[in-house]
């Protein structure tokens, strides 16, 4: 256990308790001494969501990476399935989470490692204050945990600090919100149970993630949307209509100035996000139309995004 029991950590203990209460509500705390669901030994490569999606993005992020002997840190690991996968691929793997729980937290890793015949370094810690020396890690990995902080840049800076120069940050399965959507509305639609249990939930814009990384010493090498948004139809279903300026006759309405202001702000945000997304999104095999749709989904939609970022410097 590597944490300092200070004021910051108290809020993380509440976060951890929230995750346990959330899992209990869903009937996922099967732990009775030793028994936990054997599915933990095969995730994420199973035919059920969200794992099937996680497996695809994980495999895509790792494709072409030589992990043999590399030090890899899984941040906000939950059950440390990703750290185990890294260890199976020859890495020296560590996993960290605020939640030590033996079924739904990083504590589950002892059984997972034993079953897989690999060694994992498991510890409790805060992603905003990672208890690891500077420049000691080759790869950081974070899956669906970056949107559980109120301080994206603090987390990005911590990833940059622990990475060696030239090291890689892999970011997987992070949900975004459309620039036209209200964050509170999105959270109430998609994360009401988590909020009820006191879990920190955010829905950053694509540009918030990109900005946090690029201002913390990273260059973005790749960005792709969740594998559940590969076809044009799936992408279109995820794209919400952009806010438009009022039509001329609507100017008689008292709501017109507010709508106009909202449209102007949205347009302004859009320019920044589109610029970032245009640079980061690779030209897909689907051709121009697919690429434009992906760009729009990353701005106006609510898919998950995946990023590969490299720490700059020698």
Q: Which stretch binds ligand SAM (CB under 6 A): 71-79, 182-190, 219-227, 243-251?
A: 71-79
When asked if residue 145 is in the footprint of ligand SAM (CB under 6 A), the reply is: yes
Q: Which stretch binds ligand SAM (CB under 6 A): 59-67, 126-134, 202-210, 267-275?
A: 126-134
Nearest-approach distance from CB 98 to ligand SAM, in angstroms: 4
Bond before 301 cis per omega within 30 degrees: no
Query: CA 43, CA 48: separation in Å to the nearest integer?
Result: 10
When asked if residue 127 is in the footprint of ligand SAM (CB under 6 A), the reply is: yes
- Determine the 3-state secondary structure of 148 from DSSP: helix
Nearest-approach distance from CB 307 to ligand SAM, in angstroms: 15
Query: CA 266, CA 178: separation in Å to the nearest integer?
Result: 10
Contacts of 165 (CB under 8 A, 6+ apart): 135, 311, 312, 313, 314
When asked if residue 77 is in the footprint of ligand SAM (CB under 6 A), the reply is: yes
Q: Are 94 and 163 in contact (CB under 8 A)?
A: no
When asked if residue 227 is in the footprint of ligand SAM (CB under 6 A), the reply is: no
When asked if residue 19 is in the footprint of ligand SAM (CB under 6 A), the reply is: yes
Within positions 90 to 119, which residues make up the interface with ligand SAM, using CB under 6 A?
A: 97-99
When asked if residue 144 is in the footprint of ligand SAM (CB under 6 A), the reply is: yes
Nearest-approach distance from CB 184 to ligand SAM, in angstroms: 20
Closest residue to ligand SAM, judged by C-beta, is 78
Query: CA 233, CA 224: separation in Å to the nearest integer?
Result: 17
Q: Give the nearer residue to ligand SAM in terms of CB position, either 40 or 276.
A: 40
Across the beta sheet with 163-175, the strand order is 120-124, 92-97, 71-75, 137-143, 163-175, 304-311, 218-225
Q: What would the two tokens of residue 120 be? A: 């994992």
Report the interface residues with ligand SAM, using CB under 6 A. Answer: 12, 15-16, 19, 76-78, 97-99, 126-128, 143-145, 148-149
């Amino acid at each position: 256990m590597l944490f300092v029991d200070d004021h910051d950590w108290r809020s993380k203990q509440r976060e951890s308790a929230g995750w346990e209460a959330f899992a209990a509500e869903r009937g996922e705390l099967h732990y009775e001494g030793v028994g936990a669901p054997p599915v933990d030994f095969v995730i994420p490569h199973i035919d059920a969501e969200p794992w099937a999606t996680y497996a695809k993005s994980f495999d895509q992020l790792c494709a072409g990476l030589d992990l043999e002997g590399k030090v890899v840190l899984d941040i906000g690991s939950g059950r440390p399935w990703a750290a185990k996968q890294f260890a199976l691929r020859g890495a020296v793997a560590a996993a960290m989470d605020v939640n030590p729980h033996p079924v739904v937290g990083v504590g589950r890793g002892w059984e997972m490692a034993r079953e897989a015949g690999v060694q994992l370094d498991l510890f409790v810690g805060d992603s905003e204050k990672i208890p690891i020396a500077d420049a000691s890690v080759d790869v950081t990995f974070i899956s669906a945990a970056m949107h559980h902080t109120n301080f994206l840049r603090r987390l990005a800076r911590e990833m940059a600090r622990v990475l060696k120069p030239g090291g890689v940050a892999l970011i997987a399965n992070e949900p975004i919100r459309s620039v036209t959507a209200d964050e509170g509305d999105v959270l109430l639609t998609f994360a009401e149970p988590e909020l009820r249990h006191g879990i920190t939930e955010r829905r950053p814009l694509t540009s918030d993630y990109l900005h946090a990384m690029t201002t913390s010493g990273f260059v973005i090498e790749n960005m792709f949307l969740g594998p559940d948004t590969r076809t044009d139809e799936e992408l279109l279903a995820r794209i919400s209509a952009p806010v438009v300026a009022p039509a001329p006759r609507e100017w008689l309405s008292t709501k017109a100035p507010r709508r106009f202001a909202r449209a102007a702000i949205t347009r302004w945000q859009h320019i920044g996000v589109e610029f970032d997304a245009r640079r980061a999104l690779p030209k897909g095999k689907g051709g121009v139309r697919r690429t434009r749709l992906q760009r729009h989904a990353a701005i106006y939609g609510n898919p998950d995004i995946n990023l590969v970022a490299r720490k700059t410097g020698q």
